[in-house]
Amino acid sequence: MNRIKKNNIAHSLYSLTPVILLFVSVLNEIDFNYSGLKYFSFNFAYILIFYYNLKKSEGLGFGLVFIAGLLNDVVIGMPIGLSSLIYLLLCGAASYLRNITLRPNLMKDCIFFLMTILTLNSLSFLILTFIFSYELNYLDQVINIIFTFIFYLIFSYFFNLLEEFIRERS
Amino acid sequence: MERNRDDFVIAIRSAFLKKGTQQRFSLLALIFFSITFLILGSINYKPINNLKKILKETVYLSSFIVSVPENLLGKTYVNIYNHFSHYEEYKKIRKELEILKLIDLNNQILNLENIKYKKLIDDYFVKDNETFAKVLIDKQSPFLRSIIINKGMKNNIKKGMIILDEGYLVGKVIEVNYLTSRVLLISDINSKIPVSIQPGDIQAIMSGKDKQKGVLQYIKGTDLKKDNQEFIVVTSGAGEVFKNGIPIGVIKMEENDINADDKIVNFYRDFSQLKYVKVVSYSQELESLDSLSKKDSNQQQGKIKETNQINETLRILKEQKKIDIEVRAKIEEENFILKNTIFKLKNELRISEQIINQNKTLSTDLKYLKLDLLYGAKCKKNFFNKLYKVDSKKYKACVLNKGLIK
């Protein structure tokens, strides 16, 4: 009985891993989105949301993504609702790709991810610049997009390992 | 073709409208919520603002808790590094301390003088509110470089207050909640600070550029002296946003292109290492200045009178000096003429004396010759007497005596 209970708790903890990762990355002070290096930054939340919506849609609820976006806005100091919108659109793009894909391929996923983050960052840039009069650096944006794209390959490998580990345990 | 379009529509509908397994909300509904939040937030709708405040209070505190492990790791690394570099730093600091002690004494004197003069021109500010705050979150995103501090409305923090770290400018308060406040760092691209560049007192506007750097704007065409290797950047106090003279950073000319329009400022403080900051606001020293100003004004008036008198005396003395110089020039001219005249007269006198001497000699010779004719025989030596030889001294004396001396 105890063993079953333990297994249940462990399983629910494992299944909550993406949610915990998302909220820690959003609330955490050490942000991958701005690591402090001059020409290096990437958006971990984008990778996480896209991967889990593409591969395991039940892993991250849209409601949680929406709340994570709100928290991110508050922590970073952006207009409330912007990150939520971007995250949810990313979820939408990932869901669309999942629906139209018959044979999954990492490279195709990556290219679709690149196109999506390019579009979403452009949208975010337009909203921030034209509606909220923020000044943003083009170079930072481009570097962020490039590294997010590159790190998608690496992190998707690690997430695959994590998923396999969880599957084995459960 | 028609089939493809249908597939696309089905896929989109499935992605955005259908609730997936264990999904409680449809994506489209949440997107609609987000857009509503954005629009209402942009027009400052009150319920949204209240929601923002509640979220902020919750998030800032929870964010602080979540960040504890990472901060602990960071601090451990810093501690280990400090431990290893301790001795080298100690030697360096000892040397610097000796130099700084000397400089400090000079600075104290200059500060006192500065305060005195600033009071005279009503530009002396005193701290009217000073609070120390802890940095809760140091979230340096590329979009907004800001920090959250653990003091808010409850602690009399107001929007626009200045944030200092050991006397160096860090930023200003842009958002005040009940228990927390957000500080916009000067390294943010949106922060525009009126600054003054020393030496030269060149005015400019500085905005953030990088984690540790700022960039000066609106100094196009301003000539920073090329022989200076470093320029100090301090707040200018223009626009009354910041008190003047708060140090910000340095411009190193070796890092900057001389012809570049935008100069890079290296901040004194490392904003990633902020732990405790000072929140201050300044106001003019009104009361004390009023009481002081009465005494000061009397003293000043006395001084002004004295100075005016001294100036007048100085002016008169200058005039006198001018006249004296003119008189002296005239006297010198006359002196020169007189000297010339004296020289000429002396020459003439000398010539006259020579002529007189010549004449005297001639007259003596003439007298001698005349007397020689008359009395030469009485003095001249011959076979029968033993008198004097002709032209000898005794002969001449005998002739001039008109015969032998008895």
Class of the A2-169 domain? mainly alpha
CB contact under 8 A, A77 and B141: yes
In single-letter form, the type of residue at position A12 comes to: S
Checking if the pLDDT of A2 tops 70, the result is no
Nearest CB neighbour to B59, from listed A61, A71, A127: A71
The pLDDT, as a whole number, for residue B329 is 93
- Examine residue B323 and state whether it is found in any structural domain, yes or no: no
Question: Could you read off the pLDDT of B347-357 as tens digits, one per residue?
Answer: 999 999 999 99
Question: Given CB atoms, is B49 within the 8 Å cutoff of chain A?
Answer: no
Could A57 and B211 be called an inter-chain contact, meaning their C-beta atoms sit closer than 8 Å? no
**Chain A residues touching residue B55 (CB < 8 angstroms):** 70-71, 74, 80
Residue numbers in A near B69 (CB within 8 A): none
Report the CATH number that the domain containing residue B209 is assigned in CATH: 2.40.10.340
B33: chain A residues, CB-CB within 8 Å: 66, 81, 84
Secondary structure element (H or E) that encloses residue A68, with its range = helix A62-76
Mutation target for B interface from A22, A49, A80: give the one with most B CBs within 10 A.
A80
Q: Amino acid letter at B275?
A: K
* Tens-place pLDDT, residues A17-75: 888 888 888 877 555 555 556 677 788 889 999 998 888 777 778 888 888 888 888 87
Lowest average pLDDT, out of A39-43, B68-72, B223-227, B325-329, goes to: B223-227
Of B232-241, B364-373, B379-388, the least confident: B232-241
What is the band of B360 on the pLDDT scale with cuts at 50, 70, 90?
very high
pLDDT digits (tens, 9 = 90+) for B23-64: 556 777 888 888 888 888 878 778 887 887 888 778 777 777
pLDDT confidence band for B344 (50 / 70 / 90): very high
Cα separation of B154 and B132, whole Å?
14
Put simply, whether A81 touches B (Cβ < 8 Å) is yes
Judge contact between A158 and A17, C-beta under 8 A: no
The confidence score (pLDDT) of residue B140 equals: 57
Q: What is the pLDDT of residue B128?
A: 66
Is there a domain that residue B219 lies in?
yes
Of all residues in chain B, what percent carry a pLDDT higher than 90? 12
Q: By residue range, what is the domain housing residue B276?
A: 124-285
CB A152 within 8 A of CB A110: yes
Q: Worst-scoring range by mean pLDDT, A1-5, B69-73, B386-390?
A: A1-5
- pLDDT attached to residue B1: 47
Does residue B178 form part of some domain? yes
Q: How many independent structural domains does chain B possess?
A: 1
Any domain includes B158: yes
3-state secondary structure chain B: CHHHHHHHHHHHHHHHCCCCCCCCCCHHHHHHHHHHHHHHHHCCCHHHHHHHHHHHHHHHHHHHHHCHHHHHHHHHHHHHHHHHCHHHHHHHHHHHHHHHHHHHHHHHHHHHHHHHHHHHCCCCEEEEEEEEEEEEEEEECCCCEEEEECCCHHHCCCCCCEEEECCEEEEEEEEECCCCEEEEECCCCCCCEEEEEECCCEEEEEEECCCCEEEEECCCCCCCCCCCCEEEEEECCHHHCCCCCCEEEEEEHHHCCCCCCCCEEEECCCHHHCCEEEEEEEEECCHHHHHHHHHHHHHHHHHHHHHHHHHHHHHHHHHHHHHHHHHHHHHHHHHHHHHHHHHHHHHHHHHHHHHHHHHHHHHHHHHHHHHHHHHHHHHECCCCCCCECCCCHHHHHHHHCCCCCC
pLDDT digit string, tens, across residues B146-194: 888 888 888 888 888 888 888 888 888 888 888 888 888 888 878 888 8
Q: Do residue A100 and residue B11 have CB atoms under 8 angstroms apart?
A: yes
Q: B5-14, B174-183, B379-388: lowest mean pLDDT where?
A: B5-14
d(CA B261, CA B264): 10
* Mean pLDDT, chain B, whole residue set: 79
The per-residue pLDDT for range A101-151, each reduced to its tens digit, is 778 888 888 899 999 999 999 988 888 888 888 877 788 888 888 988 998
Residue A111 forms contact with B (CB below 8 Å): no
Taking residues B227-240, what's their average pLDDT? 75
Structural domain spans, chain A: 2-169
Question: Is residue B172, in this structure, part of any structural domain at all?
Answer: yes
pLDDT in tens, A79-114: 888 888 999 899 888 888 888 877 888 888 889 999
User: Residue A9, SS3?
Assistant: helix
Q: Which tens digit of pLDDT belongs to each residue from B208-233?
A: 877 778 888 777 656 665 566 678 88
Beta carbons of B35 and A131 less than 8 Å apart: no
Residues of B in contact with A23 (CB under 8 A): 66
Q: Which residues does chain B have within 8 Å of residue A28's beta carbon, measured at their own beta carbons?
A: 63, 66-67, 70
